Structure 1
């Protein structure tokens, strides 16, 4: 499990064995079953999660009870309700397993210790945050400028394995289309 974390971090920054030992000590391994929640709306957000194996969905439920899929997270990805995590407030989204999932959990206190205790990790977290922000901007622009077919094709091109792992109803929700529209797009 921890070898996956080291490999992931070292895509951005090199670590000595001593440095990785320090980093590794700030993560807790946890296993979750399919359909289990890591975060539920209204609860405090204790962790940011690094996905070792499995698949997660981050969902916001609006005032009418309709679920909106904000993101999916698979192996080698980080996920949390980051607003609640960084502000240490209650979750406004839920994080749920779509498959049995193994994660490494980093608490907010451990995140701060890593960031403050090892300058390399501050750079790592900055890089991850920057790329997450860029991805969010691309998704917003796509929603504003692309039709549903273009969004579908872009998702299929970018994450083809998602289509084998996620039910079509959830893909439709993520794209903001009906299940029927998704069926027309995929044919």
Structure 2
């Protein structure tokens, strides 16, 4: 598991084994079962998570009780309620396991410590942040400029594994369509 994290980080910034040992000491390895909540709406958000194995969904529940899936996170992805994490406020979203999941978590204190003490890690976190912002903007633009069929095809092209691992009800919520509409789109 350590090798997965090391490989993930060294894709963007090189590290010696000694440096990696130091940065690894700032992370905590955790295991969760399917349907476990890693973050619950209204609770403190103490960590950001790197997914080693498994699948997560980040969910926002609106005032009417409708569930909106903000994102899915699978292997090699980072996830959290980032607003609450960086501002140390209560979660507005929940992070739940769709599958049994293993993660490395990092507290904000350790995130800041690593960023300060290892400029390489600050660069790494910045690059990951940039990628996340770009993905979020692309998702917003997709909702603004694409119809349901186009969004479905974009998701199928960009993340085909989701269609094998995520129940159709959740995919429909992510795409902003009904389950029935998703069935029509996929036929």
Structure-1 residue corresponding to 2:92: 92
Shift of 1:178: 0.4
Q: Matches of 2:177 and 2:156 in 1, distance apart?
A: 15
Shift of 1:18: 1.3
Structure-2 residue corresponding to 1:79: 79
Q: Secondary structure at the match of 2:12?
A: coil
Structure-2 residue corresponding to 1:66: 66
1:108 maps onto 2:133 in alignment: no
For structure 2, the residue ranges without an aligned partner over 5 or more in a row are: none
Q: Matches of 2:110 and 2:65 in 1, distance apart?
A: 34
Root-mean-square deviation (CA, aligned residues, Å) is 0.4
Aligned pairs for 1:29-178 (under 5 A) are 29-178=29-178
Q: Matches of 2:36 and 2:137 in 1, distance apart?
A: 29
Q: Secondary structure at the match of 2:51?
A: strand
Q: Matches of 1:22 and 1:116 in 2, distance apart?
A: 13
Structure-1 residue corresponding to 2:7: 7
Shift of 1:180: 0.6
Per-residue deviation, residues 130-171 of structure 1 (Å, max 9, x unmatched): 010011111111100000000000000111111010000000
Q: Matches of 1:18 and 1:118 in 2, distance apart?
A: 12
Q: Secondary structure at the match of 1:44?
A: coil
Q: Matches of 1:127 and 1:116 in 2, distance apart?
A: 16
Shift of 1:35: 0.2
Q: Matches of 1:99 and 1:141 in 2, distance apart?
A: 29
Per-residue deviation, residues 31-73 of structure 1 (Å, max 9, x unmatched): 0000000000000001000000000000000011111000000
